[in-house]
């Protein structure tokens, strides 16, 4: 026991004789350990944010989106050829009639329009939908109520404003009960709608998959879908570069909810087959299954964390090489000391233990500091992001939402893994210098100057 304690005392004393060299050696291991924890924490944070966005779509949901194809079908209206594409009302009705696993549904029509309250105007997204939209899209009401079944059934001229639109149109007054005029088609004065509710701010979602674009709820106005159909119809005309352009779209999106996750994929396949029967081209709609995206995201998260961990492990490898270089230099410097110890009766095993104790001590010190710094990943990252948002907001705006709101999440397993690897690397890279020191000829070592 005394020999064991004495070995570690001598190791500490030898390292303290060259504090700067020991500190630089510890620095290599410290950077490696901290890098493993930091990179895996940042990767986990990004992955969790991405999964939250997918989960917000609903794991039991199937989303059918209208997509404008490269060569849409053309319809003639007032001597103009207008493209017509996407999901039809008859598609929606056929799906509900033929797919028994669907327990809830939400049709949506989205149009870019100009909103006006007196002399104030602003552009935004007009969303024609049903009362269930608030639940499925996680819209919370700040004042008033969301659209009701009566609004939809009676096609009432009611609307719900997003927080941003309410602030723009009514900067100094309460919008509740006021009238908002919404542009119909080209050259009309717009239709009046009574404000019955104002939504709380709702953050944007990132793009999900290749067929589901990012959703920005900032400048939305929600009206009953039946009202939108009655007042505006399916043909949307706009003036662009001095010419009239238009399109005929009946529904922008369907969100269909099934009773069990086990039924999601099979139901999605049935819906795809049903739509394919009535659509000449399959490129004017897309069926998105959030459950599949969640499974893909989970697989990607694991691969991403492994990849990030491997990158960070390179830093540990570099630190191990640094330890070996320092210990080889130490062996050369202490050749005479090794010769004296051998002459006084020290065995090869004693010399090996002495040098291994020093490398393990360096590795443990570097690993401990690295873990401590690694655990500070979240506060340091959050502080850095806050400073960047304050000083360089234009740069932040160019980043995806999932990166703008990143919150690193420490992966618990990364801490013991990084620490153990640092110690193992110290032992592995310290073996050769220790073995080399033990194999020295005592007589030759004593002659060394």
Question: Would the CA dihedral through 168, 170, 174, 176 be positive or negative?
Answer: negative
Among left, alpha and beta (phi > 0; psi -120 to 50; other), residue 104 is beta
Q: Where are the domains of the chain?
A: 2-53+296-447, 61-259
Report the percentage of the chain scoring pLDDT > 70.
Answer: 76
pLDDT band at 281 (very low <50, low <70, confident <90, very high): low
Alpha helices per DSSP H over 214-334: 225-232, 264-278, 290-333
For tokens 């005394």, name the residue. 2
- CA angle 198–204–208, rounded 5-degree value: 135
Q: Give mean pLDDT, residues 121-139.
A: 89
Q: What radius of gyration, in Å, describes the C-alpha atoms of the chain?
A: 34
Question: Which pLDDT tens digit goes with each residue over 211-235?
Answer: 455 577 889 999 999 999 988 888 7
Question: Which pLDDT tens digit goes with each residue over 16-59?
Answer: 767 777 777 777 777 878 888 887 787 777 777 766 665 555 66
Q: Give mean pLDDT, residues 181-209.
A: 75
Residue 11: both structure tokens together:
């190791």
Residue 138: both structure tokens together:
């996680």
- For the beta carbon of residue 305, count every other beta carbon within 10 angstroms: 19
pLDDT at 287 over 80: yes
Q: Give mean pLDDT, residues 127-146.
A: 89
The reported pLDDT for the residue numbered 27 is 79
End-to-end CA distance of the chain: 34
Long-range own/partner contacts, residues 18-22 (CB < 8 A, 24 or more apart): 21/326, 22/362
Residue with more model confidence, 61 or 205: 61
- The pTM of this model reads 0.59
Angle of helix 264-278 relative to helix 89-98, nearest 10 degrees, comes to 140
Q: Give mean pLDDT, residues 122-147.
A: 90
The reported pLDDT for the residue numbered 169 is 94
Alpha helices per DSSP H over 56-156: 89-98, 133-136, 149-153
Give the number of C-alpha atoms closer than 13 A to the C-alpha of residue 138, restricted to the C-beta side: 14
The reported pLDDT for the residue numbered 11 is 67
- CA angle 184–185–189, rounded 5-degree value: 55
The reported pLDDT for the residue numbered 210 is 44
Question: Which pLDDT tens digit goes with each residue over 152-169?
Answer: 999 999 999 999 999 999
Contact 308, 61 (CB under 8 A): no
Question: Which pLDDT tens digit goes with each residue over 263-279?
Answer: 878 888 888 888 888 88
pLDDT at 209 over 50: no
Per the prediction, the chain carries an average pLDDT of 78
d(CA 357, CA 426): 10
- For the beta carbon of residue 218, count every other beta carbon within 10 angstroms: 14
Q: Which helix (H) or strand (E) holds 8?
A: helix 2-16
Give the number of C-alpha atoms closer than 13 A to the C-alpha of residue 181, restricted to the C-beta side: 12
d(CA 415, CA 391): 33
pLDDT at 421 over 90: no
For tokens 């991403």, name the residue. 304
């Amino acid at each position: 026991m005394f020999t064991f304690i004495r070995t570690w005392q001598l190791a500490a004393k030898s390292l303290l004789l060259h504090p700067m060299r020991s500190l630089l050696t510890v620095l290599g291991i410290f950077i490696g350990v901290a890098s493993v924890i930091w990179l895996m924490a940042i990767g986990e944070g990004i992955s969790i944010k991405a999964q939250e966005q997918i989960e917000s779509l609903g794991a039991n949901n199937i989303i059918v989106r209208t997509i404008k194809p490269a060569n849409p079908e053309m319809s003639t209206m007032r001597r103009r050829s207008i493209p017509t594409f996407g999901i039809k009302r008859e598609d929606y009705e056929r799906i509900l009639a033929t797919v028994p696993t669907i327990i809830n549904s939400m049709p949506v029509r989205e149009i870019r329009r100009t909103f006006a309250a007196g002399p104030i105007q602003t552009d935004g997204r007009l969303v024609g939908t049903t009362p269930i939209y608030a639940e499925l899209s996680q819209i919370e009401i700040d004042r008033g109520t969301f659209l009701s079944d009566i609004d939809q059934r009676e096609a009432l001229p009611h609307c719900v404003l997003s927080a941003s639109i309410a602030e723009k149109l009514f900067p100094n007054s309460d919008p509740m009960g006021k009238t908002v005029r919404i542009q119909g088609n080209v050259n009309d004065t717009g239709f009046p709608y009574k404000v019955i509710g104002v939504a709380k701010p709702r953050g944007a979602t990132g793009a999900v998959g290749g067929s589901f674009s990012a959703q920005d709820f900032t400048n939305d106005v929600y009206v009953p879908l039946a009202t939108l159909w009655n007042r505006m119809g399916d043909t949307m005309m706009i003036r662009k570069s001095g010419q009239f352009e238009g399109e005929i779209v009946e529904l922008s999106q369907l969100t269909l909810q099934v009773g069990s996750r086990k039924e999601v994929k099979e139901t999605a396949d049935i819906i795809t087959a049903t739509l394919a029967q009535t659509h000449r081209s399959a490129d004017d709609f897309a069926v998105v299954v959030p459950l599949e995206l969640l499974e893909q995201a989970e697989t990607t998260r694991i691969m991403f964390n492994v990849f990030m961990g491997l990158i960070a492990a390179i830093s540990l490898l570099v630190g191990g090489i640094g330890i070996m270089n320092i210990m080889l230099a130490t062996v050369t410097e202490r050749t005479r000391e090794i010769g004296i110890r051998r002459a006084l009766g020290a065995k090869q095993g004693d010399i090996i233990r002495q040098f291994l104790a020093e490398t393990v001590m360096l590795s443990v010190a570097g690993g401990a500091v690295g873990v401590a710094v690694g655990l500070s990943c979240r506060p340091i990252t959050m502080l850095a992001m806050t400073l960047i948002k304050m000083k360089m907001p234009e740069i932040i705006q160019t980043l995806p939402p999932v990166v703008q709101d990143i919150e690193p999440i420490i992966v618990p397993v990364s801490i013991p893994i990084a620490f153990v690897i640092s110690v193992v690397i110290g032992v592995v890279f310290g073996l050769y210098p220790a073995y080399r020191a033990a194999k020295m000829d005592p007589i030759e070592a004593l002659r060394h100057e």
